[in-house]
Amino acid sequence: MSSFEKRFINAPDHAVRVARRALELVGRVPPAPGSVVLEVGSGTGDAALALARAFDVEVVGVDVDTEQVREARRRARGERRVSFFVEDAAALPFHGAAFDVVLSLKTTHHVPDWERALEEMARVLKPGGRLVYSDFMLPEWLAAMGPRLARHAIGPTWRGFERFLGTHPLRAEAVGRSPLHWEGVLTKAA
């Protein structure tokens, strides 16, 4: 992530919007108190903290950026239901079926191996659990231009995302879709 992007993402008003959106999306299928939630791409921890407080759940946040995790830990001091770790979304260190809910908001477009990251999120989700997911989606032709336009990951493509959905026991609920964005809740088959 560029320093410009990080400045934008860490801006207080943006963090509040992200936390509010996380509450809205997770609130569509509220987890039971005591559930364990994984937030992939937790940044400075605002959404994780809001979820823990609103739903009385335990939240584990992971982010690949050490500075972001350091700031998240600082913000979470005294909150025992939230913990943050430096981890790669494409190689999550958790056992399979460890989480009731996995949340990822606009993260996978930063991950070079975004398909592997989605597979990891599905792997650590319990049967009957929910993947609350939102990110940009590109048509194949635009993604093919990506390496010439950007120095970082381009992110999910519509075809790749549909292929992922076709190979995993996930059922889409409450989907919002636009030409360049997908948002919704995916339930893992029990």
Query: Which of 4-13, 36-45, 172-181 has the highest average model confidence (pLDDT)?
Result: 36-45
Whole-prediction pTM value? 0.90
What type of residue is 190? A
Residue closest to 126 by CA, chosen among 53, 41, 186, 52: 186
Judged against a pLDDT cut of 80, whether residue 22 lies above it is answered with yes
pLDDT tens for 53-101 read 999 999 999 999 999 999 999 999 999 999 999 999 999 999 999 999 9
Which strand ranges, in their side-by-side order, compose the sheet holding 58-63? 82-86, 58-63, 36-40, 99-105, 125-136, 181-188, 170-178
The string of DSSP codes covering 48-101 is HHHHHHHHT-EEEEEES-HHHHHHHHHHTTT-TTEEEEE--TTS--SPTT-EEE
Place of tokens 């830990």: 73
Angle between helices 114-124 and 158-167 (to 10 degrees): 30
| CA 4 and chain centroid, separation | 21
Kindly list the structural domains of the chain, giving each domain's residue range(s) and its CATH number in brackets, ordered by start: 3-188 (3.40.50.150)
Asked if residue 144 has pLDDT above 70, the reply is no
Q: Determine the average pLDDT of the residues in 144-148.
A: 60
